[in-house]
Amino acid sequence: MFTLAHLSDPHLPMPRARPVELLGKRATGYVNWWRRRVRLHVPEALAGVVADLAVQRPDHIALTGDLVNISLPTEFQRAADWLAALGRPDEVTVIPGNHDVYVATDWARSLGLWGAYLAGDGAPPAAGFEVFPTLRKRGPVALVGLSSGVPKPPLLATGTLGEAQIARAERLLADLGGQGLCRVVLIHHPPLGSESRFKRLTDAAAFQAMIRRVGCELVLHGHNHRSEVARIAGPTGPVPVLGVTSASAAPGSKYGRARYHLIRIVREAAGWRLDVELRALRADGKGCEPDGRLTFHSGLPLAMVA
């Protein structure tokens, strides 16, 4: 059995910024944070999730983006320090979210600070978006990381993969399927096409068409700040698409209490069984507790266990 922890959208606390740093889109995001979002994402909740991860000791951690808020230089360094405390680069796989590319930035001073967490196996720290899709093999599991984060105009939180990235992902997933690995795709934006036009993945239809052709065993995403499950038709049956609540969601917030998911992956005669335990922040904030279970069987209809 292989245990994968999935968390997303930690939205680490926003540092104060100088006026010169708030030109363009950053200005609206900065005001929005201090007026509203600062009460939705709290460091105490994230600390409880991280403490529980240390107790559960999963084999690997997948983090599907939005570590920062408006891509300030100081945010990236703070996030790098937080990642170092969370785990080593070989223990934690990170993909970027839309807030991590809120505006265009110099890679070396922004996402480059997390380069070792973004890179695929055997590769140097990621030096640009061209590294995606990335591949990390851990036991029977192949983690395929995609980047849907692209700088967008103010008031837009949409994402785009692009034809080239989708084509590379298709070839990679087909090859991994031939190797008999459990293929887990990591993407920040939900690839469903059902979100509002201000938050959606713009090429969700192309991504879904690719999954219909080559399949995978599981798609993990963030962005919506809620635990949710959907599916995409695959060549051998429905592919589960699992989103997770923000790892820093304040108790009583509109997102509900912070959560992360523990995914236990077991090989079956007909494919794979994926047992998902939803773990939610306890009332005392010191760790998490079980908050529901899901069971997926690759190539078979989804089953939900209360």
Tell me what pLDDT residue 304 has: 37
Asked whether the predicted pLDDT for residue 300 surpasses 90, the reply is no
Sequence-distant (6+) residues with CB within 8 A of 15 are: 72, 74, 75, 78
Alpha-helical segments (H) within 102-160: 115-118
Residue-number span of the structural domain to which 151 is assigned: 2-15+22-305
pTM tops 0.75, yes or no: yes
Crossing angle, helix 163-178 and helix 204-214, to 10 degrees? 20
Kindly state the DSSP code that residue 236 receives in the 8-state scheme: T
Tell me what pLDDT residue 306 has: 29
Residue 149 in tokens: 């984060």
CATH number at residue 62: 3.60.21.10
Which residue did the predictor score with more confidence, 268 or 300? 268
Residue 9 in tokens: 């959208």
CA–CA gap between residue 238 and residue 281 (Å, rounded): 30
- pLDDT tens digits along 106-126: 999 999 999 999 999 999 999
Count of domains observed in the chain = 1
CA–CA gap between residue 216 and residue 222 (Å, rounded): 18
Tell me what pLDDT residue 47 has: 98
- pLDDT tens digits along 192-223: 977 788 899 999 999 999 999 999 999 999 99
What distances in angstroms separate CA 129 from CA 61, 67, 164, 186, 269, one per listed residue? 21, 17, 12, 15, 38
Closest to 73 in 3D by CA, of 37, 107, 98? 107
Burial class (CB in 10 A: 0-12, 13-18, 19+), 298: buried
- pLDDT tens digits along 239-288: 999 999 999 999 999 999 999 999 999 999 878 999 999 999 999 999 99
Rounded to an integer, the average pLDDT of 120-139 is 96
